[in-house]
Structure 1
Amino acid sequence: MEAVLRAREKARLYLNGKHVGDVLIRGWESSWGFGDFHPNENFSDFAVFFGRWSLLMHASDDDESIPREIADELREAEYQMDSFKARLYMVEAGEWRDIGHVNIDGGMIEWKER
């Protein structure tokens, strides 16, 4: 039986089989989980991809619509991030969760399970 995930639960994020950091789960909004991300040294292999995505996401913070060229680059960045095999290991439950999409923006993380 699958454990119910709780806010404030601790997890470990793995990308392509590497433990890249720890997550403190803050809660859920619809089908998305979110929390605080604490990277370790292995995250450096992936940081450039999430950093690019973050810069593109915030490039038009003052505008209501994203310019087409930024939208195209953003879509490319998201395809790259989605190509990573992402998994969360739920420490207290001792369970693995397969992640379909993960966004990391500074110390914040959000994910959608498969």
Structure 2
Amino acid sequence: MLGTVYGYIRLDADDQAEEDHLHDQLSDYAAAEGLALADVFVDRHTPPARIVRPGLAELLARLRRTEGCGVLVASLDHLSPSLPVRQAILVEISNVGGQVLEVATRPATSLR
């Protein structure tokens, strides 16, 4: 069972309102599930096909140093809408011991 999670957000543009909204979604989900949201990593202006990203690299480094943590995303599209790229990122997260949790899979009625 996970106790600590790190959030991850990938944005195509520099939209502070969208970033704040997604951060709130991640925080609400973590609180409802009894998880500690330790930090949220954000990559802005990142093409979906790019695997090497500063925020993602920092997240992976943190996962390497912290055992038994998860990665919380609003949807898997925040990893990448491109299935091959998304799969590569999921493998990287798994290889460092992380588990991905997706807010979008939770029924909307149970979110605040």
Does the pair score TM above 0.5?
Answer: no
**Max Rg structure:** 1
TM-score, normalized by length of structure 1? 0.31
TM-score, normalized by length of structure 2? 0.31
| Larger helix proportion of the pair | 2
